[in-house]
A and B are shown apart, each in its own frame.
Chain A
């Protein structure tokens, strides 16, 4: 079993829709949760960072962590064509020297 599971998609939605991207993880010791956005042929860029459980909002983006279910989500409101990218979740343990990444979900927002 992989430490982090993420549906690779692809996911295609119309402009303006609410998008939900999800990951599940197996190790309850994970405390740090991140979402990266990666445009085609580019390196990933850090989009959202969350520690422990709860929600974090940044503009149209909301990151949610449910540690009881070992489930993390990224919501995109009022989605735009410029949001079309691959979204990667990443998790980490306190003191660990490396992140664990999900497979990435390829998202397309259609005008």
Chain B
């Protein structure tokens, strides 16, 4: 079945530690997105990428980094510079040019700082 796989489902980070969230899709989608979801705040865009080796900052990119070396993969690193990283992280994808028709989302990774 085609879809988006996010791993791990739950992740715990110690203070000062970098962690990487995985996002893999087998939908042959060009565009991929990372969102952060906090209670009562909806989805906030962190980074997005339209093609391999290219990505743009979203609304809340500070403290995060991404790479897009393969079409099917878009990992997100939460760095120690992100002061409040505890949140639910969602990866999404769509065909380039189909942004207006909605995204496919993964099941999310819940990150907790301990």
Contacts and interface: CB of A to CB of B under 8 A. Distances in A.
B48 interface: yes
A97 B31 CA distance: 9
Contacts of A103: 40-42
Given A43-B90, A43-B108, A96 B42 contact: no
Interface of B: 4, 6, 31, 33, 40-43, 45, 48, 50, 56, 58, 88, 90, 92, 99-108, 110
A17 interface: no
Prevailing SS type, chain B contact patch: strand
A41 B9 CA distance: 9
B99 A92 contact: yes
Contacts of B88: 41
A41 B35 CA distance: 14
B90 A96 contact: no
Contacts of B50: 97
Given A32-B101, A41-B108, A88-B42, A98 B58 contact: yes
